[in-house]
C-alpha cells in the first residue's frame, strides 16, 4: 500500500496531463470519461487505503523522490497518510469523484470542456497533494496549486471581464494570506532547519515551551494563511464573487474542499497552536464573528448561489470555532458533513439555475422557475442538514458536537451564544430560500425540467450521506456510538465537555433553535412573497404593522442587521481594497514618471548635453584662422616653459 500512495494525487494529475497533451484529439465524451476515471482511480486507491490503513494507527508513508538537495537539507516529495489526512482524502476524492460525474452532464454544452476538465483534475490532484504532504514545502505547493485552479475556474467564462476580475480578486486576496503562510514557513525553517512535519512537531514540542513569542508569531502567520484560503473575516471578500464560476466548481472548490484547506492546515499544525492559547482564542473568536457575519449576510441575499456562498463562510466559521476551542475532531466532523450537504445544495442549485437558463434570483426562480421533485427533495435535505434539524440530519450532530465543545473553552459562554445564534440564523436564511424557491402560491406553471440520470446519481448519494453521515458520532451524553472521536483520538486529544446537566440544557436550546428558525423562515418567506412588489423598507414597516410579536420585531432587527453587514462589506472592505489598489497604482506611476524619467533619464541627458556643450565650446575655437593657430602654439609653448619656472 505504501507504494500505491502516490496514485492518490498522481492519478488526477496524470489525467490533467493527458488532457492537456492529447486534448486536441479527444471528443467531449472521452475527455469527460477520462477525467472522471482519473478521479475514480484516486477514490478507489483511497478505499484501498481504508481497507488496510484504517486499522493500524501507524501512518502510511511514501517518499516519491528527493525534490531538491541543498547542503544537508533535502526536502522530498513525500506523502504521509495518517487518519487526519485519511479523512480529508476520502472527502476530497469522494466528493470530487461525484462532482466529476455530475459535470459530465452539466458541462455537456460548453466548448471549453478541455480547459474545464484539465483544471478540475489538476485541482483534485493539488488538493490531495495538499492533504497528503508530509512536509510544509509540498503542502505549500498543493496550497498554491489549488489556488491557481480556483482562479482559473472562477474565471472560466473569462470573456466576461467581471468574471475574469473575480478570479483575479480571489487569487490575489488569497495570495496575501499565502504570503504570511510562507513567512511562517520560513520562520519554522530558520528555527528548526527542516520542514518535514513529524520532525517539526517533535522539535516544536521540545524546543518551544508554551506561550513562547516565536510560537505565537508562527502560529499567527499560519492562521493568516488559513484565513485567506477559508474565506474568514477579514479576507472573506473573495468567496461571494467566486460564485462566478460554474456550479460544480463552486460545489467542489468553494464549498467542499479548497475552502476547508485552512481548517485542515490548523488541525494539522495543532501542536503548534496548542502552545499559544492566545492565538487559539483568536481562531475561535474569528470563527464566531464569521459565523454571525455569514449567516446574517446570507439572510439578505437574493442570488441563490450567493446565499450558499455566505452560508459556506459561516459554516467554515463553525469549524474555526471548534478548532479554536481545541475540538479538532469535531471541526473535521463538521467539515465532512458540511462537504456533503453543502455540495448537495450547490449541485441542486446548479441544476435549478441551469434548468431555468441561468436565472439566479430566488424570487424570480420561485415565481417563474420550474423544478423537478428531485431538485425539491435534494434541496430540502440539504437545507435541513445545513440548518441542523435535530436528530435526523447529519448537520445536527456535527453542530451539536461543536456547540457542546465550545462551552468549556475560555469565554466559552459568549462564543456558545454567538454560535447558537448563528445556527438559528442559518436555519432562517436557508429555509427562507427554500420556501421562496419551492413554496410559491402564485407560481406560473412552467414545464418542470428533469435531471438526467448522470446528474441525478451524485445528488442521491450526497443526499443520503447528508442524512446519515451524522450517525457515526452521537452528541455528548447520548447513548450511541462515538466512532469518530474514538477513531481520531490518537491524533487529537478528546474534546472536553461541560457537566452533563449543562450539556442537556444547551443541547435542548441548540436543537430547538433551528426548528424555531424554520418557522420564522416560513413566515418571512410568506411576507416576502406578499411584500414582493413593494420596496424592502415598506415591507419592513409592514412587518412592524402586521404582528408586533416578539419574533417579528426580532426578524425586522435581523434584516436591519443583515443590511448593515451587507453595507459594511460593500462599503468598507471592498472599497478599501479598491483604495489600496488605486493608491498602489498611483505610487507606481509616480515612480515611473517622477523617478525613472525625472531623475535617471534626465541625469543621463544632462550628462550628454554637458558633453555637447563642451564640444560646442572647443569647436568654436577651430575657426580656421592661421594666426589664431600660431598663437595657440605660442601659448602652448609658454605654458610648457611656464611649467619649468613653476
Partner 1 sequence: MMYWLSVLIFLPLSGALLIVLAWHSNVVMARRAVLLFSVAELLIALGLWWFADPGSDGYMYIVRASWIPSMGIQFLLGMDGLSLLLVLLTALLIPIAILVSWHSVKYHWPVFAALLLAIEAGIMGVFLALDLILFYVFWELMLVPMYFLIGLWGHERRLYAAYKFFLFTLTGSLLMLVSILGLYFIHGEQTGIYTFDYFALLHTDLPDTTGMWLMLGFFAAFAVKIPVFPVHSWLPDAHTEAPTAGSIILAGLLLKTGTYGLLRFCLPLFPEDSLEFAPFAMALGIVGILYGAFLALVQEDIKRLIAYSSISHLGFVVLGIYAWNQESLHGAMILILAHGVTTSAMFAIVGMLEERSHTRLLSRLGGLLLPMPRLGTMLLLFTLSAMGMPGLANFVGEFLVLAGVYQISASFAIAGAMGIVAGAIYLLWMYQRAMLGEVNENPAWRDLDLRELSVLAILAILVLWLGLYPAPFLDYLQSPTDIIIELNTVVTTGMEDASH
Partner 2 sequence: MIPLSHSLIIAALLFSLGLLIILVRRELLFILMGLEVMFNGAALTAIAAGQYWKNADGQILTIFLTVVTAAELAIALILVWLAFEHLNTTRADKLNLLKDNIDRGPP
Partner 3 sequence: MQAIDLINLGPFIILGFGGITVLGLGILPAHVSTRTLAAVTIIILILGTVATTLWKVPHEIDGMLVFDRLSRLFVQLCMLGAIVITILSLYYPTTQKEMREEYLSLILFTTLGMALFISSQNLVMAFVGLEILSVPLFALIAWLPKQQHAIEGGIKYAMLAGIAAAFFLYGTTLAYVNSGSLNIAALGQSLSDGHLPAIAVTLLLVGMGFKLALVPFHMWSPDIYQAAPAPVTALFASTVKAAVLIFLIRLLCLNLQPVWEALLPLLWILAVISMFAGNLLALLQQNIKRLLAYSSIAHIGYIFVALAAGNSLGRDAAIYYSLAYALMNLGAFAVVAALALTGKDRQTLEDYRGLGRQYPILGISMAISLLALAGLPPTAGFVAKLLAFGSAVEAGHFILAIIAVINTAIAFYYYLHILVIFFAEEKEKTGQIIAPLPKGTLVSVIVINSFIIGLGIFPELITTGFP
- How many residues bind partner 2 (CB under 8 A)? The answer is 15
- What residues form DSSP beta bridges with 196? 135
C-alpha cell at 526: 410568506
Of the candidate residues 549, 589, 609, 635, the single one contacting partner 1 (CB under 8 A): 589
- Residue 199: contacted member of partner 2, partner 3, partner 1, none (CB under 5 to 8 Å, by partner type): none
- Count of beta carbons in the 10 Å neighbourhood of residue 257: 29
Q: Does 630 bind partner 2 (CB under 8 A)?
A: yes
Of the candidate residues 560, 625, 636, 642, the single one contacting partner 2 (CB under 8 A): 625
- Residue 643: contacted member of partner 3, partner 1, partner 2, none (CB under 5 to 8 Å, by partner type): partner 3
Are 475 and 390 a contacting pair, CB within 8 Å? Answer: no
Cis peptide before 503 (omega within 30 of 0): no
Are 191 and 251 a contacting pair, CB within 8 Å? Answer: no
Give whichever of 209 and 622 is closer to partner 2, judged by the CB atom: 622
* Footprint of partner 3 (CB under 8 A): 611-612, 614-615, 618-619, 621-622, 624, 626, 628-630, 632-633, 635-637, 639-641, 643-645
DSSP state, 449?
P
- Residue 20: contacted member of partner 3, partner 2, partner 1, none (CB under 5 to 8 Å, by partner type): partner 1
CA distance 242 to 235: 13
Smallest CA-to-CA distance from 569 within 264, 169, 338, 294 is with 294
- Count of beta carbons in the 10 Å neighbourhood of residue 504: 15
DSSP state, 597?
I
Are 403 and 359 a contacting pair, CB within 8 Å? Answer: no
- Residue 620: contacted member of partner 2, partner 3, partner 1, none (CB under 5 to 8 Å, by partner type): partner 2
Of the candidate residues 588, 625, 631, 641, the single one contacting partner 1 (CB under 8 A): 588
- For partner 1, what does the binding mask look like between residues 167 and 206, x meaning CB under 8 A? -x--xx--xx--x--xx--xx-xx----------------
Minimum CB separation of residue 477 from partner 1 in Å reads 46
Of the candidate residues 44, 108, 110, 158, the single one contacting partner 1 (CB under 8 A): 158
- Residue 632: contacted member of partner 1, partner 2, partner 3, none (CB under 5 to 8 Å, by partner type): partner 3
Segment 105 to 134, residues that bind partner 1, using CB under 8 A:
115
Q: Does 639 bind partner 2 (CB under 8 A)?
A: no
Distances (CA, A) of 265 to 229, 271, 275, 290, 323: 10, 12, 16, 18, 11
Distance from first CA to last CA of the chain, Å, rounded? 96
CA distance 421 to 509: 11
Give whichever of 583 and 610 is closer to partner 3, judged by the CB atom: 610
Give whichever of 590 and 629 is closer to partner 3, judged by the CB atom: 629
Q: Does 137 bind partner 1 (CB under 8 A)?
A: yes
- For partner 1, what does the binding mask look like between residues 266 and 285, x meaning CB under 8 A? --------------------
Give whichever of 480 and 603 is closer to partner 3, judged by the CB atom: 603
H-only helix segments in 407-549: 412-438, 453-468, 483-487, 500-530, 536-546
- Residue 548: contacted member of partner 1, partner 3, partner 2, none (CB under 5 to 8 Å, by partner type): none
Of the candidate residues 22, 608, 641, 642, the single one contacting partner 2 (CB under 8 A): 608
CA distance 594 to 305: 46
Of the candidate residues 500, 536, 600, 637, the single one contacting partner 1 (CB under 8 A): 600
Q: Does 14 bind partner 1 (CB under 8 A)?
A: no
Q: Does 640 bind partner 2 (CB under 8 A)?
A: no
- Count of beta carbons in the 10 Å neighbourhood of residue 147: 24
Q: Could you give phi then psi for residue 4, rounded to 5 degrees?
A: -85, -10
- Residue 525: contacted member of partner 2, partner 1, partner 3, none (CB under 5 to 8 Å, by partner type): none
The set of residues, in sequence order, having a beta carbon less than 8 Å from that of 96 and lying 6+ positions away, is 12, 39, 42, 43, 124, 127, 252, 256, 257
Smallest CA-to-CA distance from 181 within 212, 209, 143, 208 is with 143
Give whichever of 209 and 623 is closer to partner 2, judged by the CB atom: 623
Q: Does 164 bind partner 1 (CB under 8 A)?
A: yes
Give whichever of 57 and 601 is closer to partner 2, judged by the CB atom: 601
Smallest CA-to-CA distance from 124 within 5, 277, 218, 14 is with 14
Q: Kindly tell me the burial class for residue 436, based on how many C-beta atoms sit within 10 Å of its own C-beta (0-12, 13-18, 19 or more).
A: buried
CA distance 38 to 32: 10
C-alpha angle 336/15/38, rounded to 5°? Answer: 45
Tell me how long the chain is: 646
- Residue 140: contacted member of partner 3, partner 2, partner 1, none (CB under 5 to 8 Å, by partner type): partner 1
- Residue 165: contacted member of partner 3, partner 2, partner 1, none (CB under 5 to 8 Å, by partner type): partner 1
Minimum CB separation of residue 601 from partner 2 in Å reads 12
Give whichever of 505 and 611 is closer to partner 1, judged by the CB atom: 611
Give whichever of 567 and 630 is closer to partner 3, judged by the CB atom: 630
C-alpha cell at 482: 462515538
- Residue 635: contacted member of partner 1, partner 2, partner 3, none (CB under 5 to 8 Å, by partner type): partner 3
Q: Kindly tell me the burial class for residue 337, based on how many C-beta atoms sit within 10 Å of its own C-beta (0-12, 13-18, 19 or more).
A: buried
Distances (CA, A) of 353 to 157, 252, 364, 405: 16, 17, 11, 38
Q: Does 641 bind partner 2 (CB under 8 A)?
A: no
Minimum CB separation of residue 149 from partner 3 in Å reads 50
- For partner 1, what does the binding mask look like between residues 526 and 555, x meaning CB under 8 A? ------------------------------
Minimum CB separation of residue 596 from partner 1 in Å reads 7
Are 74 and 157 a contacting pair, CB within 8 Å? Answer: no
Minimum CB separation of residue 591 from partner 2 in Å reads 25
C-alpha cell at 460: 442521491
- Residue 380: contacted member of partner 2, partner 1, partner 3, none (CB under 5 to 8 Å, by partner type): none
Q: Could you give phi then psi for residue 482, rounded to 5 degrees?
A: -125, 55
Minimum CB separation of residue 616 from partner 2 in Å reads 6
CA distance 613 to 590: 31
C-alpha cell at 493: 486529544
Minimum CB separation of residue 17 from partner 1 in Å reads 10
Minimum CB separation of residue 622 from partner 2 in Å reads 4
Residues that bind partner 2 (CB under 8 A): 605, 608, 612, 616, 619-620, 622-627, 630-631, 634
Residues that bind partner 1 (CB under 8 A): 20, 65-71, 73, 77, 115, 137, 140-141, 143-145, 148, 155, 158-159, 161, 164-165, 168, 171-172, 175-176, 179, 182-183, 186-187, 189-190, 584-585, 587-589, 591-592, 596, 600-601, 604
Amino acid at each position: 500500500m505504501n507504494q500505491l500512495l502516490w496514485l492518490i494525487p498522481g492519478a488526477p494529475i496524470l489525467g490533467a496531463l493527458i488532457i492537456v497533451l492529447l486534448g486536441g484529439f479527444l471528443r467531449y465524451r472521452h475527455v469527460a470519461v477520462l477525467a472522471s476515471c482519473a478521479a475514480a482511480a484516486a477514490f478507489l486507491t483511497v478505499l484501498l487505503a481504508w481497507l488496510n490503513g484504517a486499522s493500524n494507527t501507524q501512518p502510511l508513508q511514501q517518499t516519491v523522490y528527493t525534490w531538491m538537495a541543498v547542503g544537508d537539507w533535502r526536502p522530498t516529495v513525500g506523502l504521509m497518510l495518517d487518519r487526519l489526512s485519511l479523512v480529508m482524502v476520502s472527502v476530497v476524492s469522494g466528493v470530487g469523484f461525484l462532482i466529476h460525474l455530475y459535470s459530465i452532464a452539466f458541462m455537456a454544452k460548453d466548448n471549453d470542456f478541455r480547459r474545464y476538465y484539465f483544471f478540475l483534475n489538476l485541482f483534485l490532484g493539488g488538493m490531495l497533494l495538499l492533504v497528503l504532504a508530509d512536509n510544509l514545502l509540498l503542502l505549500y505547493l498543493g496550497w498554491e496549486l489549488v489556488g491557481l485552479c480556483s482562479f482559473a475556474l472562477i474565471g472560466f467564462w473569462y470573456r466576461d471581464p467581471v468574471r475574469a476580475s473575480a478570479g483575479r480578486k480571489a487569487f490575489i486576496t488569497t495570495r496575501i494570506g499565502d504570503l504570511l503562510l510562507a513567512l511562517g514557513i520560513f520562520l519554522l525553517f530558520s528555527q528548526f532547519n527542516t520542514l518535514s512535519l513529524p520532525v517539526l512537531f517533535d522539535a516544536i514540542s521540545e524546543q518551544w515551551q508554551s506561550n513562547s513569542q516565536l510560537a505565537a508569531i508562527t502560529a499567527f502567520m499560519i492562521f493568516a494563511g488559513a484565513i485567506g484560503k477559508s474565506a474568514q473575516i477579514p479576507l472573506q471578500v473573495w468567496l461571494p464573487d467566486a460564485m462566478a464560476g460554474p456550479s460544480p466548481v463552486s460545489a467542489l472548490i468553494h464549498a467542499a474542499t479548497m475552502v476547508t484547506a485552512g481548517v485542515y492546515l490548523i488541525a494539522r499544525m495543532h501542536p503548534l497552536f496548542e502552545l499559544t492559547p492566545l492565538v487559539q482564542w483568536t481562531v475561535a473568536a474569528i470563527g464566531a464573528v464569521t459565523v454571525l457575519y455569514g449567516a446574517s449576510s446570507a439572510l439578505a441575499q437574493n442570488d441563490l448561489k450567493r446565499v450558499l456562498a455566505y452560508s459556506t463562510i459561516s459554516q467554515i466559521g463553525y469549524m474555526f470555532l471548534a478548532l479554536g476551542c481545541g475540538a479538532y475532531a469535531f471541526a473535521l466532523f463538521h467539515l465532512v458533513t458540511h462537504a456533503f450537504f453543502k455540495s448537495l445544495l450547490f449541485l441542486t442549485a446548479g441544476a435549478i439555475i441551469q434548468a431555468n437558463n441561468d436565472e439566479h434570483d430566488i424570487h424570480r426562480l420561485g415565481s417563474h422557475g420550474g423544478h423537478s421533485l428531485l431538485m425539491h427533495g435534494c434541496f430540502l435535505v440539504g437545507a435541513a442538514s445545513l440548518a441542523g434539524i435535530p436528530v435526523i440530519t447529519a448537520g445536527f450532530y456535527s453542530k451539536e458536537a461543536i456547540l457542546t465543545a465550545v462551552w468549556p473553552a475560555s469565554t466559552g459562554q459568549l462564543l456558545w451564544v454567538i454560535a447558537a445564534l448563528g445556527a438559528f440564523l442559518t436555519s432562517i436564511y436557508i429555509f427562507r430560500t427554500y420556501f421562496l424557491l419551492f413554496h410559491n402560491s402564485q407560481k406560473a406553471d412552467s414545464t418542470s425540467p428533469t435531471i438526467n440520470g448522470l446528474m441525478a446519481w451524485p445528488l442521491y448519494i450526497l443526499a443520503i450521506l447528508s442524512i446519515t453521515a451524522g450517525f457515526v458520532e452521537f452528541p455528548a451524553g447520548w447513548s450511541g456510538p462515538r466512532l469518530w472521536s474514538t477513531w481520531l483520538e490518537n491524533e487529537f486529544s478528546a474534546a472536553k465537555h461541560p457537566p452533563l446537566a449543562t450539556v442537556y440544557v444547551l443541547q435542548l436550546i441548540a436543537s430547538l433553535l433551528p426548528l424555531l428558525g424554520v418557522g420564522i423562515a416560513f413566515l418571512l418567506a410568506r411576507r416576502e412573497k406578499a411584500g414582493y412588489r413593494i420596496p424592502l423598507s415598506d415591507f419592513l414597516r409592514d412587518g412592524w404593522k402586521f404582528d408586533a410579536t416578539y419574533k417579528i420585531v426580532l426578524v425586522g432587527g435581523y434584516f436591519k442587521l443583515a443590511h448593515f453587514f451587507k453595507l459594511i462589506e460593500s462599503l468598507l472592505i471592498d472599497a478599501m481594497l479598491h483604495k489600496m489598489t488605486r493608491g498602489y497604482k498611483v505610487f507606481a506611476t509616480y515612480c515611473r514618471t517622477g523617478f525613472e524619467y525625472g531623475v535617471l533619464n534626465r541625469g543621463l541627458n544632462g550628462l550628454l548635453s554637458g558633453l555637447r556643450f563642451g564640444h560646442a565650446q572647443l569647436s568654436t575655437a577651430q575657426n580656421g584662422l592661421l594666426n589664431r593657430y600660431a598663437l595657440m602654439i605660442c601659448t602652448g609653448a609658454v605654458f610648457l616653459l611656464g611649467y619649468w619656472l613653476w
